Amino acid sequence: MKKSVSVVSACIVVLTLAIAALASVAIVLTVGLADALAVAVLAGLVFFWLMSWKYNALLSGEATAKTMGINVEGLRFATLLLASIITAACVSFLGIIGFVGVICPHVAKKLLGQDHRVTIPASCLMGSLLLLLADTASRSLGSGSALPVGAITSLLGAPFFIAIIFSGKENRRC
């Protein structure tokens, strides 16, 4: 069961990163590359959202998901492959903004519950908003030059990550 839950968590983290990356894509990329990246990320978002009922079934355990007719190994492979491709594309064009993927899925899960049909799009929207706010802060705080957006997200994400690790109340299922 732990493997299945971690696959779903990885999916949500990747989508959050990808959608957050799209929030700043117009600034960083030329129009042609931005369109290609946007299409890839949106295709991944649609795939992950359509598979959300399968991810919800995985919350009940791998054996339960298999009895519901879900090919767990195939779903795990497809999810990780697509998540890896989207992550590689976003990071190669936009740089590392990784803590967005730590903060937003956990906040979405706390606010909205475990249903992936809701938390996947909510995580993406929260990631976009967080990155937009971090970009605005990086431009405002730098006197004459902008701070790296990754530095701002790290300032927010590192304490959040440490709090998750040391929290006794945190439900370990994602």
The answer to whether the beta carbons of residues 4 and 174 sit under 8 Å apart is no
Amino acid at 108: A
Burial of 96 (0-12, 13-18, 19+ CB in 10 A): middle
Looking at residue 174, what is its pLDDT? 46
Cα–Cα distance between 91 and 97 in angstroms, integer?
A: 8
Which sequence spans correspond to the domains of the chain? 2-166
Spans in the chain with pLDDT lower than 50: 1, 24, 26-29, 170, 174
Q: What confidence score (pLDDT) does residue 4 get?
A: 53
Helices 116-141 and 100-112: crossing angle, nearest 10°? 130
Query: Secondary structure of the chain: what % helix, strand, coil (to 5)?
Result: 80, 0, 20
- Contact between residue 130 and residue 100 where contact means Cβ atoms under 8 Å apart: yes
Tokens of 131: 């990155």
Residues 58-104 have pLDDT tens digits of 888 899 999 999 999 999 988 888 888 887 777 777 777 767 777 88
Rounded to an integer, what distance in angstroms lies between the CA atom of residue 167 and that of residue 174?
Answer: 14
Tell me the one-letter amino acid at 133: L
Buried (b) or exposed (e) across 46-68, using 16+ Cβ within 10 A? ebbbebbebbbbbbeebeebeee
- Would you state the pLDDT for residue 27? 46
Residue with tokens 């992950």: 48
* CATH class of the 2-166 domain in this structure: mainly alpha
